[in-house]
Amino acid sequence: MEYDFVLKFKLAEGSADANDLVEKLGEAGCDDAVVGIGQPGRIALNFTREAKSAKQAFISALEDVRRVLPDVELIEASPDLAGLTDIAEFVGVTRQNMRKLMMSHAKTFPAPIHEGSLALWHLAPVLEWLSARAGYEIERHLLEISRMAMRINVAKEWRRLEAPIEERIRALVA
What local confidence, expressed as pLDDT, does residue 10 receive?
93
CB 59 within 8 A of CB 96: no
pTM of structure: 0.86
Strands 42-50 and 121-122 come out as: unpaired
What local confidence, expressed as pLDDT, does residue 174 receive?
61
Type and span of the H or E element at 144: helix 140-173
Please give the chain's pLDDT, 174 residues, in tens: 999 999 999 998 877 677 788 888 888 888 999 999 888 889 999 999 999 999 999 999 999 999 988 889 999 999 999 999 999 999 999 999 999 999 999 999 999 999 988 999 999 999 999 999 878 899 999 999 999 999 999 999 988 877 777 677 767 776
Distances (CA, A) of 101 to 46, 94, 108: 31, 11, 11
Cα–Cα dist 77/36, whole Å: 14
Query: Residue 145 CB: number of other CB atoms within 10 A?
Result: 27
Q: How far is CA 25 from the centre of its chain?
A: 19
CB 138 within 8 A of CB 130: yes
β-pair partners for 76? 8
Show the domains of the chain with their CATH numbers.
2-78 (3.30.70.3400), 81-138 (1.10.10)
β-pair partners for 78? 6
